[in-house]
Chains A and B, each alone.
Chain A
Amino acid sequence: MKATVHVMLKTGVLDPQGEAVKTALGALGFDGVDAVRQGKVIELDLAETDAATAETTVTEMCEKLLANTVIESYSVQIG
């Protein structure tokens, strides 16, 4: 079973890398980019076959390691 985790900086946390990407896009002539936020996508291949159990386990992984919940939020997608 596959799981996909998206990790993003929480709303309100300044994202220096996103700001730099936005500036670089402007320099390339891409006008009208109001905001850029940069995050991570983590793909997992799991032995688990039950979707509900997989979601519980991956959520625990996010809390313990994959995200730093002080500054980051995460979402889990199963399948």
Chain B
Amino acid sequence: MRAAVVTFPGSNCDRDLAVAFEQTGFEVTRVWHKDTSLPDNLDVIGLPGGFSFGDYLRCGAIAANAPICREVKAFAERGGHVLGVCNGFQILLETGLLPGALMRNANLHFICKPIGLRVDSAESPFTAAYGKGAEITVPIAHHDGNYQIDDQTIARLDGEGRVAFRYLDNPNGSAGDIAGVLSANHRVLGMMPHPERAIDPLHGGTDGRAMFSSLAEMLVSA
């Protein structure tokens, strides 16, 4: 199984994401934002957390127009798997691969703490292993995680099993308590919490590990 992790100027979770993929059986290639092609036979692309391009203009807006993102978009449109965490989620929204937008946290604070999530859709390779309704604890660390989308679209996403995660105790004002959403084909996942920071007992918890192993199992059985 092959994964690629993209690094933008200002990414700071790229290594953590690469380690999470490696520890669950992926061979990882690191990709630079100026690259114009992706490795062959790729199964999944990871867009990491951080502050790409200093969050200038809007979080993720400049990165979404980086050369590699044209390839990421084409890969997703061909049915490839993409995981965007934190700033990676912001980038996926800016590319239009996922619906909605992220704004400044409602209380204006940068929030960094472990947080409870409920798995609201097990209909994706990333969440199948958890099972619908599972409650997990994963860290968040963001200033702009306030997910905004209209109520009609939330209802549609729920109907299509595309709300992957909800906060048990909404920390940032997100509409519908939404912490992570899936694309229409359920193969692109964007989420504010950091599963890659919860894969080793030394992290204080391992609830994020199943996301990577779930994808690995699905790819092996496919």
Contacts and interface: CB of A to CB of B under 8 A. Distances in A.
Contacts, number: 33
Interface in A42-79: 64-66, 68, 70-71
Interface centre among B93, B94, B101, B146 (most CB of A within 10 A): B101
Interface SS majority for chain B: loop
B61 to A, nearest CB: 6
Contact of B100 (A14, A65, A66, A70): A70
B134 interface: no
Given A17-B108, A65-B57, A71 B146 contact: no
B205 interface: no
Interface centre among A17, A64, A70, A71 (most CB of B within 10 A): A70
B104 A17 contact: yes
Nearest to B104: A16
Contacts of B104: 16-17
B65 interface: yes
A20 interface: yes
Contacts of A33: none
Interface SS majority for chain A: helix
A28 interface: no
B107 to A, nearest CB: 8
Instruction: Place the interface of chain B in its size category.
Output: 10 to 19
B173 A16 contact: yes
Contacts of B115: none
A6 B117 CA distance: 38
A71 B103 contact: yes
B148 interface: yes
A14 B108 CA distance: 12
Interface centre among B58, B61, B93, B105 (most CB of A within 10 A): B58
A13 interface: yes
B155 interface: no
A20 B105 CA distance: 12
Interface of A: 13-14, 16-17, 20, 64-66, 68, 70-71
